[in-house]
Amino acid sequence: MVEKVWVTYNQVHKLCQESADQILSEFKPNLMVAIGGGGYVPARILRSFLKRDGNPNIPIQAIGLSLYEQIGTDPQVEEIGTKVTRTQWLDLSSLEMANLIGKNVLIVDEVDDTRTTLQYAVTELEKDVATAAQMSGRQGEKTNFSIFVLHNKDKPKRGHLPQDMMSEGRYIAARTVGDVWINYPWEATDIDEHDKMAASKA
C-alpha cells in the first residue's frame, strides 16, 4: 500500500517562506500562474514572501488542469493513456495571455508526481504566449517560465520539462519526497483530524 503523509497549513506556509529568497534571486518573477486547485494556496502564501518594499504585489493568474487516466477499450492496447484537460485557461483574445509576454512567469503547483500536468502547462503556455506575441507584434520579447512546487516525488516521470529549464535551475521543489501520497490541508474535511494525523506521523 502507498504510504500516506499529512502536511499542515503551517508546514505549507514555511515551505513557501523557505523558498522565497531563492525564487526572488534566481527567477525574479513578475507574475505567477497558479495551477488549480493545488497551486492556489501556495501561490497566495508565496506572494506575501515575494513582496518587497516599494514594489507592488506580484499578480496571480489561475489556470485549472485535471488529469484523466484513459483506460483503452481496445484489449490490444495495453498502455494506459493520460490526458490533461483544461478546466480553466487564460484567454487569448483578451489581455490575459498577452499579460505574460516578456515576463518572468512562475508556474506554481502543489506536487510534481508524474510531471504530466507540469509538462502540459509549460508546453501549452509557451505555445499560447508565442501566439499572443505574434498577434500583437511583440515576438522580440522573451518570456521565461520557471516552476515552483511544494513537493517533487522522486520517481520515474512520464512528463518532461524543457532541458534549459532544468539546467538553468528554473525548477524549484521545496521538498523532494519518495513515492508517497500527500494529504494537503485544503483537501481536508476535518482539519483537526488532519492536523492530528500530521502530528502523529511527525
- Residues involved in catalysis: 113
Per-residue CA distances from 82 to 68, 69, 79, 115 (Å): 6, 5, 9, 11
Secondary structure of residue 171 in the 3-state scheme:
strand
Judge contact between 158 and 114, C-beta under 8 A: yes
Measured over the CA atoms of residue 151, residue 154, residue 160 and residue 165, the dihedral's sign is positive
Q: Minimum CB separation from ligand 5GP for residue 145, in Å?
A: 16
CB of 127 to ligand 5GP, least distance (A): 18
Least Å distance between CB 136 and ligand 5GP? 31
List the one residue out of 170, 173, 168, 148 whose CA is nearest residue 50.
Answer: 148
- Report, in Å, the least distance between residue 15 CB and ligand 5GP: 14
Cα–Cα nearest to 89, from 122, 127, 117, 62: 62
Q: Amino acid letter at 129? A: V
Smaller CB distance to ligand 5GP: residue 19 or 99?
19
As beta bridge partners, residue 66 has 85
Nearer to ligand 5GP, 97 or 113 (CB): 113
- C-beta closer to ligand 5GP: residue 7 or 97: 7
Least spacing, CB of residue 151 vs ligand 5GP, in Å: 7
Smaller CB separation from ligand 5GP, 24 or 165: 165
Q: Which is nearer to ligand 5GP, 88 or 139 (CB)?
A: 88
What is the binding site for ligand 5GP (CB under 6 A)? 38, 67, 109, 111-117, 181-182, 184, 187
Distance CA 150, CA 147 (A): 10
Query: In this structure, how many other beta carbons lie within 10 angstroms of the beta carbon of residue 148?
Result: 26
**Euclidean distance between CA atoms 44 and 58, whole angstroms:** 10
